[in-house]
A and B are shown apart, each in its own frame.
Chain A
Amino acid sequence: MDASLLQEPRSRTSRAAAIYDWVDDRLDLTGLMAHAREKTVPEHKHAFWYYWGGISLFFFMVQVLSGILLLVYYRPGAEAYESVRQITYDIQFGWLVRSAHSWSANLMVFAVFVHMFSVFFMRAYRKPREFGWWSGLALLGMTMVFGFSGYLLPMDDLAYFATKVGLEIPASIPLVGTVITNLVRGGSEITSTTTQRFFALHVVILPLLYLPFLAFHVWLVQKHGNAMPPGEEAKPVEERRTIRFFPDFFAKDLGMWLLSLNVLAILASLYPWQLGPQADELASAPVGIHPEWYFMSQFQVLKVFGRWFPGAFGEYLGIVVFTLGLVIWALIPFIDAKGRNGKWAKAALYIGLIAVFGMLATTIWGYWDL
């Protein structure tokens, strides 16, 4: 046999090695891998909650990919409804992409909320992770605006009326509320102009704002590592357990993504997202119209205050209570700054419990009250 044939495999390996060396010289891949292997992740009975940030990120990536596909066929403006109708009924796989986009949006909001509360109860906002907490809150806010702006785009009657009542939330902000609302709406009513504005917000402005915050947030996680819950931190170092970040935690994180993909695929294919009749502003609103579930809590708070204190005062009061809650929530790293388990730590725990149960209760109340 020709000797060069026998040598072929070896030369191929050495070529691959040469390419690796070339890249390694410039990007220090070996150092990066060594770092990934050295890095560890705490392992304890609450470790399940570590996955939720990754799950949120996964759904965000699905949003980007499916969103780009929808962008190809969606036409904001007068043809908005017709283009979504084509995506849903005429274009091959269109219904699946749209359904995946809508479902993963909802799953993402859910995952972000779970992530936020798990971070809260693990006290992962304490020093040095304050900026992680704040950037996370900013990302949550933007995620909700993403959801709100995307919901209108199909311009079916549910989207139209839900957006109409949803805009009552910003409109009730004292002084600037009306101005802001008219600005995003493009007038005093929701029209095809509104879809153009929401579209610009949804696919250009928000992504531009979101991505730097996301990069910052992920970089912080990388820098500070996973926070341990107080119970775990109290243990002596030799009793704490860890697993390697790479490949062990990494494999499990990918496994969690695979599970999330399964959940998404089952929901998107068995319960495809529906498209209602075209929005008709002259028609009466369907009974029990309400914003998406993740706005239900705020919606209900405003509604109830409006009922208890009729007129603008009630609305202002609702907004004030809400803003106050948000400010306290953002200031948690300062309120519970001492670390360990002092009285402020206990206060923070109560604040967290009030927030979880308050949101759940007002959301359920909201649906009850339709």
Chain B
Amino acid sequence: MNYPFWDVPYLSGGGVIGLIATYHLLIALFAVGGGLYLPLAERKALKEGRDDWFGVLKSHSKFFLILTAAFGTTSGVGIWFAIGLANPEATSTLIHNFVFGWAIEYVFFIVELTTAAIYYYTWDKIDPKLHLKIGYVYAASSWLTLVIINGILTFMLTPGSTWLSVAGSGNEASVFWYAFFNPTYFPSLVLRTLISWNLAGIWALVTASRLDGFRHGKLKHEIISWSAKWLIPGFVLVPFCFLWYLAMVPEAQRQLLDLGISTIGQGTFTQITRSALITVMTSATIIALVYFVAVRNSKSFGLGWAISLVLLAFAATASTEQAREMLRKPYVIGDFMYSNGVRKSEVEKYNAEGYLTHSSWAANSVKGFYSDSETIEAADLKKGELMFRGQCGACHTEKGYRAMNNLLKDRDETAIGNILQMLHENKDDSPYRKYMPPLVGKDDEIKALAAYLKQISVNASK
């Protein structure tokens, strides 16, 4: 059960998490891929005696250090703040299971940050071979941070049957490694590693675009061509890895994607299909632009174009993450906790005894509503609002992202009540079942929610 005190109008808490997470991923995966790019480029320059490359690499490593150590780290902490506020119950579950995982993560993280700084500040100051070794230590430690966090991220989609069998018993930590190396762990690790190389190439183009192509045409062309090659493994292998990844997701959770694919011919795409198609489109555009605009026209390839590529990568990352989040619906932790923080095992209890009665943040207020309000209707509306905050607010806003005024427009209280009833019963053939949690609570609570929803949809259209 969540403690829904964090109200983000228009955007919703989930929207905030999405924005911060996409921004973070774009930099964090660069930290991993770029960590390998730098020493490999340095090795090439050393081997071929290309002194002109060193200047470029030095400025790229400065850009890399600032971007990853300042913006990457702060946005990573930002995700912590956002998930703790928007979904405290799921965050608590993660901490209880993976506190040891995060401890390991922080060890690698400190090594990563330290070596990144040493790498930048020791250019031309220590033996080049030792400098290169520091680069390799960085590359290894940054990849190991991915190795760890990937276990926790994939756990949320597919916790695996072993963990689910002990979930809620207090012995979850005993199956730590099962939860960590869960069914989607390896496909996701390979996918993210490949994408981190793509991002290494794209971000390197930002540094390369700053070179004056009319003065240093050959150098600029070489750097751009070499960086562009970093996109090749990803674009060849990602489709196959994605299929591998999907194959590991339980059938029930794939339904939404299957539905979306089966309806492509009629043009009524589901949201997840739209997101997936946007990933395909933006990725193809990146490849086309990198080849035709960057490689073929390296002389006049400027910063504006490089930033456009980064923005396309942002769109590709955002839509992929969105599709992955949708795949997890209606859960926040697969088959265990619904996206609004209600545990699957608690549904029966809440239906029999009441949702708000068991919500320590709300139970006392509800009693007060009926003694303080002038009419029962007014008290119902207040109770309905608490139901909305507790069970709907994790994904919906009144106006804005997945807005209730837009979804409910023109419906009267009876129609709204019917939808709520369908959500409450959550039968196998319910169209909402694939992506929405069951609505839990007693009849009076659900009626109060219907009254509240009617009121906000009327207010919104005024």
Name A residues whose Cβ lies closer than 8 Å to a Cβ of B: 43, 47-48, 92-96, 241, 243, 247-248, 251-252, 254-255, 258-259, 261-262, 265-266, 269-270, 274, 277, 286-287
Contact = CB atoms under 8 A, between A and B. Distances in A.
A95 B265 CA distance: 14
Contact of B267 (A95, A252, A262, A265): A95
Given A92-B267, A93-B267, A255-B292, A270 B285 contact: no
B296 A269 contact: no
Contacts of A255: 288-289, 292-293, 305
A259 B297 contact: no
A258 B410 CA distance: 39
B308 interface: yes
For the complex of A and B, list the 7 residue pairs with the smallest distance between their C-beta atoms, beginning with the closest.
A93-B267, A255-B293, A92-B267, A269-B274, A251-B292, A92-B266, A243-B300
B278 A270 contact: yes
A266 B318 CA distance: 11
Contacts of B292: 251-252, 254-255
Contacts of A93: 266-267
Contacts, number: 67
Nearest to A89: B268
Contact of B297 (A248, A266, A269): A248
B315 interface: yes
B281 A265 contact: yes
25 contacts: A47-B302, A48-B304, A92-B266, A93-B266, A95-B267, A241-B214, A243-B297, A243-B299, A243-B300, A248-B300, A252-B292, A252-B293, A252-B300, A252-B305, A255-B289, A255-B305, A258-B288, A258-B289, A262-B281, A262-B282, A265-B278, A269-B274, A270-B275, A277-B410, A286-B461
Given A93-B267, A95-B267, A251 B296 contact: yes
Contacts of A286: 461
Contact of A43 (B285, B300, B305): B300
A251 B304 contact: no
Interface of B: 214, 265-269, 274-275, 277-278, 281-282, 285, 288-289, 292-293, 296-297, 299-300, 302, 304-305, 308, 312, 315, 406, 410, 461-462
B296 to A, nearest CB: 6
Contacts of B304: 48
A252 B315 contact: no
Taking each of B269, B293, B315, B406, which has the highest tally of chain A beta carbons within 10 Å of its own beta carbon?
B293
A101 B265 CA distance: 20
B315 A262 contact: yes
A196 B417 CA distance: 42
A96 B267 contact: yes
Nearest to B299: A243
Contacts of A266: 278, 315
Contacts of A43: 214, 300
A247 B293 CA distance: 11
Contacts of A269: 269, 274, 277-278
B293 A251 contact: yes
A367 to B, nearest CB: 16
A41 B191 CA distance: 41
